[in-house]
Amino acid sequence: MYIKLVSSDGHEFIVKREHALTLGTRKAMLRGPEIPSCVLSKACTYFTYKFCYTNSSTVIPEFPIAPETALELLMTVTFLDP
């Protein structure tokens, strides 16, 4: 149960369907903008992070985002999930 997300520079990210399937990613798969791999990889990492810690009782670690990625990532997320 995996889906494949492809970035604008040709990197393929294979993620579990249940982690990634929000309205936003469905939109992206149909008719999305070109998303660079550095942004898409961070988004995929976040999906896993969210899935892991949402229903657990362990301490939630920090999720670091590099400053140079943050703006593009925010714009992508805002587009996918306004």
Partner 1 sequence: MFTQLLHFWTPALLGFPPLLEPLLLAELKPGRPHQFDWKSSCETWSVAFSPDGSWFAWSQGHCIVKLIPWPLEEQFIPKGFEAKSRSSKNDTKGRGSPKEKTLDCGQIVWGLAFSPWPSPPSRKLWARHHPQVPDISCLILATGLNDGQIKIWEVQTGLLLLNLSGHQDVVRDLSFTPSGSLILVSASRDKTLRIWDLNKHGKQIQVLSGHLQWVYCCSISPDCSMLCSAAGEKSVFLWSMRSYTLIRKLEGHQSSVVSCDFSPDSALLVTASYDTNVIMWDPYTGERLRFLHHTQLDPPMDDSDVHISSLRSVCFSPEGLYLATVADDRLLRIWALELKTPIAFAPMTNGLCCTFFPHGGVIATGTRDGHVQFWTAPRVLSSLKHLCRKALRSFLTTYQVLALPIPKKMKEFLTYRTF
Residues that bind partner 1 (CB under 8 A): 43, 46, 50, 53-54, 59-60, 62-67, 70-71, 73-75, 77-78, 81
Closer of 23 and 70 to partner 1 (Cβ): 70
How far apart CA 40 and CA 46 sit, in angstroms, is 10
| Rounded least distance, CB 60 to partner 1, Å | 6
Residue 43 neighbours by CB distance under 10 Å: 21
Q: Which is nearer to partner 1, 23 or 71 (CB)?
A: 71
Cα dihedral 63, 65, 70, 73 sign = negative
